[in-house]
């Protein structure tokens, strides 16, 4: 446990957390919406510091990141808690849990994690993922500093729901982001995630403008966020604010947590894929087996450059600099470690 950054002490031992747009007013002995930022006698503490519950080596494609060191591995870390309450959460076993009710945790220092990252084969660095990394901000900042000093890369997989000031500091430490854009509807965000859309859009714009690598993920839930007009509005927003070369992962939903809507049909997935491909160069379908919609194709000469089977990637057409061997078009900025 470590004293939190970004909070204001109030009267009667209350605190206001200013890390994310919820701005939780927290009484002594209580936690914020995230369940892991806890008021102890008028001071706010990050309860998750040094206490990961998930620590694994994954293919970088699993994050998902398809245009950042393809074919490499990344050590991945997660704690408990989240600052959204998505009714369809795919990682609710950890993201919707508090430490006092969870039976398992590790204790890992900064040096422990850096040592692991340095000694994993073909590992490019550390990914903050599994649950929402914003809620373990302090641990992430210290880890990402140390990972950079070790000459490795930092990745953040996030819902993007964070206030501007902590985001500015964080972006300096992170090399690549995958941000969940769950809808282009404020009503959807409010009803199904207990949060807001605008801060997420602002985060995405800031990350893009910072020059850091950015990919987006959209989880499709039929009847909730698959409206064609709203989807086209989202694609238009992406084109206007982050560009037609923004990588978009359209992911298939399966029932979990508090939602029992049937899995998204392949017909809907294909329809949204075709709509997105009309305006974006790089669109991929996720959570679907045996689909060639996970391959990377050159938008200029149409050559298949990277073929993917699950999380296994074969480079068929990119040179070491990430350019198409056939026409020379720059496709991927980060290819080799």
Which of 165, 163, 143 has its CA nearest to residue 155?
143
Q: Are strands 73-78 and 123-128 parallel, antiparallel or unpaired?
A: parallel
Distance CA 273, CA 280 (A): 10
Note whether 55 and 75 are within 8 A (CB). yes
Q: What token pair was written down for 79?
A: 């704690």
DSSP character at residue 244: T
H-helix segments, the chain: 92-95, 110-119, 137-149, 164-171, 186-193, 198-210, 228-241, 266-277
Q: What token pair was written down for 39?
A: 């008021």
Tens of each residue's pLDDT in the chain, 337 residues: 899 999 999 999 999 999 999 999 999 999 999 999 999 999 999 999 999 999 999 999 999 999 999 999 999 999 999 999 999 998 999 999 998 877 667 899 999 999 999 999 889 999 999 999 999 999 999 999 999 999 999 999 999 999 999 999 999 999 999 999 999 999 999 999 999 999 999 999 999 999 999 999 999 999 999 999 999 999 999 999 999 999 999 999 999 999 999 999 999 999 999 999 999 999 999 999 878 899 999 999 999 999 999 899 999 999 999 999 999 999 998 887 6
Which of 76, 119, 219 has its CA nearest to residue 159?
219
């Amino acid at each position: 446990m470590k004293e939190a950054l970004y909070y204001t002490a109030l009267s009667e031992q209350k605190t206001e957390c200013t890390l994310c747009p919820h701005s939780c007013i927290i009484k002594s002995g209580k936690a914020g919406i995230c369940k892991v930022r806890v008021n102890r006698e008028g001071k706010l503490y990050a309860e998750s510091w040094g206490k990961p519950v998930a620590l694994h080596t994954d293919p970088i494609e699993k994050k998902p990141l398809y245009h950042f060191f393809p074919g490499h591995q990344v050590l991945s870390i997660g704690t408990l808690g989240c600052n959204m309450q998505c009714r369809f959460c795919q990682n609710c076993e950890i993201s919707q849990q508090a430490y006092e009710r969870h039976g398992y945790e590790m204790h890992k220092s900064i040096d422990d994690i850096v040592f692991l990252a340095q000694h994993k084969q073909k590992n490019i660095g550390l990914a903050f993922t599994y649950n929402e990394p914003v809620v373990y901000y302090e641990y992430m900042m210290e880890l990402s500093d140390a990972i950079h000093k070790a000459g490795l890369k930092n990745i953040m997989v996030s819902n993007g729901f964070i206030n501007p000031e902590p985001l500015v500091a964080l972006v300096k430490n992170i090399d690549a982001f995958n941000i969940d854009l769950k809808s282009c509807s404020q009503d959807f965000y409010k009803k199904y995630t207990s949060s807001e859309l605008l801060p997420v859009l602002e985060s995405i714009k800031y990350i893009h403008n910072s020059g850091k690598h950015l990919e987006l993920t959209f989880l499709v839930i039929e009847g909730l966020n698959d409206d064609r007009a709203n989807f086209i509005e989202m694609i238009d927003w992406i084109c206007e604010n982050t560009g037609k070369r923004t990588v978009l992962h359209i992911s298939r939903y399966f029932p979990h947590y508090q939602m029992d809507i049937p899995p998204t049909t392949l017909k809907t997935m294909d329809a949204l894929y075709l709509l997105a491909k009309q305006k974006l160069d790089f669109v991929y379908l996720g959570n679907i087996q045996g689909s060639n919609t996970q391959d990377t194709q050159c938008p200029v000469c149409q050559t298949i450059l990277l073929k993917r089977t699950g999380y296994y990637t074969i480079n068929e057409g990119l040179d070491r600099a990430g350019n198409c061997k056939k026409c020379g078009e720059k496709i991927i900025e980060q290819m080799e470690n």
